[in-house]
Each structure stands twice: as structure tokens, then as C-alpha cells.
Amino acid sequence: MQRRPFLLGCGCLAFAAAAGVRADEYDYQVPPRFTRPDPGTDEGGLWAFMDREEQRLKRSSFLIRDPALNKYVTGIACGLAGEHCPEMRVYIMRTPYFNASMAPNGMMQVWSGLLVRMQNEAQLAAVLGHEIGHYLQRDSVEGLRDAKNRSSFGLIVGMALGVVAGGTAGSLAQLGILASGMAYGRDQERMADKIGVALMARNGYAPAEAGRVWGQLLDEMEGAKAAGEDVSSTDILFASHPPAEERKEVLAEAAKRDWPGATRTGTDEYRAALAPHRMGFLYDEVRRRRFGESLVLFDRLLKASPRDGQVQYFKGEAYRQRGREGDAKLAIEAYRAALAMDNAPPEAHRSLGTVLRQTAENAEATRAFQRYLELKPDAEDAEIIRSYLTGSQS
């Protein structure tokens, strides 16, 4: 049954258009609560399959179980989902790629690569609202039916079996492929974008932040291309959507509309919630070895928060790990900048020492290593660092 939630009743839209009045396309009518479908139907089969994938997800070694972060993200999702909140379960995964998805059984996944990229609560709400939009529209079921009829379904499942995202293996649920945008058509994506904006505004978030998410991703892709890096894995995310550029434009237009009371970005709350985890997420980000994207991300975070020594440190790490001609110098500058800021981790001294050693500035390197040991005498690598100082190896 095709849903038309934006019609306020049969023929109203047509009437309104005929009368020259533009009906409010963002006045989204949330459907009533969902009930579990009959297991014999294809929807029921998909639901049951996702239930079992969810059981696996619950036991995954890559699930982030921290109650505070879960409470925070679930709270945002619940606010957006409104009366559908009780149908949802949120799972936060330690996976350093931009993704969030929602399965037809109410299982929502949010990856750490997404969390580290959001500037504020409103941006996270935009992405979650979009996924909730797909859920409320039953898009994944439509997508599955549609995909089964297209040969691309094989590609989708084949990809889900571990070929995407840089060859990472994992369960179907972990990859969130079936329920993510992979099987969705452009119309469904546009609808989900609209619903996402409507839900954001109802929860008081500034809809302008939605378009920014796409602008940010585009910038990262540009950074990767400029650095001569392969962007094929991120391209996959854009493959079946309307192009990112178009989404950014459409969402920017949506933001220009009048949204009384929808002004909140929640920047401070977001930072506070992410703080205990961010160092680990930034570490994972650098370890991906997609330095073009990472550097754009770090610069963006620094623009919003110029004295963030932790991000500045990881900027240095990106240069150090990339190790191209001239990168050693850039890394040293970054570490020194970080150490002048508020919250540089002690590791900044260690990395500075490591690079100074490369450039044969041994006296300075020694001082940096000493400083590291003063700050972290029980570090896991304290013994080896000490051996650099004494010049002794056993």
C-alpha cells in the first residue's frame, strides 16, 4: 500500500494546488504505531531476520556499551521518533565510517565514524531523523521487494558479506547494508530527507544543520581526491542516493523556510557527551589511512574549536603516518601547536619526539620523550621510551 503521508486527506493537496495554495510539504503526519507483521509475509521474514542479526549485534565485541553515551544518543533518537520511540533500540558500533541505519524491526545502528564527524547535536539529529524517516515509511521493505526484482540485490548481499568498507568483515547487521540507503531509490531518499527535517524542527533543532552534514562530507571527499586518494569506498555511500551536492542544496533550501522555534544546535551538549570517547574515535580515524579525508575533518573541528589540542595532536598524527615529503615538518608544527593548547594528550610529546628523531633534532627529541614520561610514567611504552633516552638497548 503506497503511503502518502503528506496529503492531509484524499485530494486535499490537489485541491490546495488548484486553489493556488501550496500545501505544507513538511507537515508530516507520523503514521500510527507499527505492529509486528505476520512471519509468513516477506516483511515478516525480513523483520525476523533482522531480529536475529540484532541478537548477534548485542553480543558483538565492537558494540560500545557505555551507558552515558547510549542514553544520550537514544534520547535524541527517541525525541525524533516521538510515539514510535518504544519500537526502537539503538546500537553504537566502534566502526570508523560514516553510517547510521535503521532496520524495519526498529534496530538502529550508529557508527563511531559518524559520531566523530558531527559538529553538534542538531547534525546528529538530522542523520537519525533521516533514518527514522525511512523506518516510518517502511522503505527498507519496499527496497527489499524492489531489489529482489533487480539483479542488484545480489550485489547488495554480496557487498554485505564483507566486501565494502575497506574489506571489513562482519555480520549483515554490522554493515547495516540492508537497512541503509543502499537499496533505496531517489524518491525515498528525498522523502526521508524531508521527514528528517520535519522531525528535527519539531524537536527544536535548527534544520540548517542538515544540509551542512552533506557539505562536510563533500569537503572530505574533495580533500581525499586532492590528496590523490581512492574515494571508492565513500562513493558507495553516494551511489544510490541523489548526489550529495543535490542533497546539500535541497536541504539548504528547506532550511530557508520559516521554522519558528527551531534554533537549537546543541554544540556544547554534543561535545560533552562525546568527550570520553572522542580520543578513541579520532585514533581509529587516523588508522584508516585516508589522510585526505581525515585532515579535512580535523581542520573543520579546529575551525569550530580552535584551541582543541586533542584534534591538533591527531592532525599531527595524520601527517606523521602519511609520511610524504614535507610531512615530518607539518607534523612537528602540528604537535607543537597542540602542546600550546588546552587539552593536548601526553602522546603529543611522544610523537613529537619520534618525528624530531627522524629529523635528527636529538636534543629536542630527548626533551619531548622526557616530558612524555613525566606525564605518563606508567604508559604501556614507558620502558621503550626510557631506552631512547639512555640510548641503551638491553
Partner 1 sequence: MRLKPWLAAAALLALAGCAQMVKVEPGQVTIKEALRLNPTNAWNRFELQFPLSVAPGASEVWTQDGITLDALAFFVGVAEGQTLGSVIPGSNKKLPLFRATMTPGEIVELYEQMVTQDGSAFALTRVAPARFGGQPGFRFEHTITRKSDGVLLKGAGQGAVVKGKLYLAAFTAPSIYYYGRYLPQVEPLLASAEIKAP
Partner 2 sequence: MRRVLPGFLLALWVGFALAQSNLAPGFTKLAPNTTIALMPADVELFEISAGGIGEPRADWTAAATKNIMADLRTRKVKLGARATEITGEQDETVEALNNLHGAVSRAIVVHHFGGLKLPTKDGKLDWTLGPDVAKLREKSGADYALFTWVRDSYASSERKAMMVVGALFGVGMTGGTQQAYASLVDLRTGQVVWFNRIFRGTGDLREPEPAKETLDALLTGFPL
Can you give the binding site for partner 1, defined by CB under 8 A?
A: 53, 56, 59-62, 94-95, 161-163, 165-172, 230, 232-233, 287-289, 321, 323, 350, 354, 357-358, 380-381, 383-385, 387-388, 392-394
Tell me the number of residues near partner 2 by CB under 8 A: 17
Query: For partner 2, what does the binding mask look like between residues 24 and 63, x meaning CB under 8 A?
Result: ---------------xx---xxxxxx--x------x----
Closest separation between CB of residue 387 and partner 1, Å? 4
Closest separation between CB of residue 179 and partner 1, Å? 14
Q: Which residue, 233 or 267, is less far from partner 1 as judged by CB? A: 233
Q: Which residue, 156 or 172, is less far from partner 1 as judged by CB? A: 172
388 binds, among partner 1, partner 2, none (CB under 5 to 8 A by kind): partner 1
Q: Which residue, 97 or 298, is less far from partner 1 as judged by CB? A: 97
Contact residues for 179 (Cβ-Cβ < 8 A; gap 6+): 50, 101, 102, 103, 104, 107, 134, 140
Three-state SS for 138-189 is CHHHHHHHHHHHCCHHHHHHHHHCCCHHHHCCCCHHHHCCCCCHHHCCHHHH
Closest separation between CB of residue 40 and partner 1, Å? 22
Q: Which residue, 12 or 384, is less far from partner 1 as judged by CB? A: 384
148 binds, among partner 2, partner 1, none (CB under 5 to 8 A by kind): partner 2
Distance CA 234, CA 282 (A): 18
Element (H, E) at 101: strand 100-102
Q: Which residue, 29 or 171, is less far from partner 1 as judged by CB? A: 171
263 binds, among partner 1, partner 2, none (CB under 5 to 8 A by kind): none
As given in the structure block, the three cell numbers for residue 124 are: 546528529
Q: Which residue, 61 or 151, is less far from partner 1 as judged by CB? A: 61
Closest to 146 (Cα-Cα) out of 34, 255, 251, 240: 240
Distance CA 68, CA 88 (A): 17
70 binds, among partner 2, partner 1, none (CB under 5 to 8 A by kind): none
Cβ–Cβ < 8 Å for 299, 315: yes
SS3 state of residue 91: strand
36 binds, among partner 1, partner 2, none (CB under 5 to 8 A by kind): none
Closest separation between CB of residue 125 and partner 1, Å? 28
289 binds, among partner 1, partner 2, none (CB under 5 to 8 A by kind): partner 1
Q: Which residue, 103 or 122, is less far from partner 1 as judged by CB? A: 103
SS3 state of residue 228: coil
385 binds, among partner 1, partner 2, none (CB under 5 to 8 A by kind): partner 1
Cβ–Cβ < 8 Å for 93, 60: yes
Q: What phi and psi values does residue 75 have, to the nearest 5 degrees?
A: -60, -45
Q: Which residue, 26 or 153, is less far from partner 2 as judged by CB? A: 153
Closest to 281 (Cα-Cα) out of 37, 64, 76: 64
48 binds, among partner 2, partner 1, none (CB under 5 to 8 A by kind): partner 2
As given in the structure block, the three cell numbers for residue 251 are: 536541504
Closest to 165 (Cα-Cα) out of 275, 22, 62: 62
317 binds, among partner 1, partner 2, none (CB under 5 to 8 A by kind): none
Closest separation between CB of residue 62 and partner 1, Å? 7
Alpha carbon separation from 121 to 82, 115, 207, 272, 301 (Å, rounded)? 17, 10, 12, 11, 14
How many Cα atoms occupy the beta-carbon half-sphere of 266 within 13 Å? 24
Q: Which residues bind partner 2 (CB under 8 A)?
A: 39-40, 44-49, 52, 59, 148, 151, 153-154, 157-158, 172
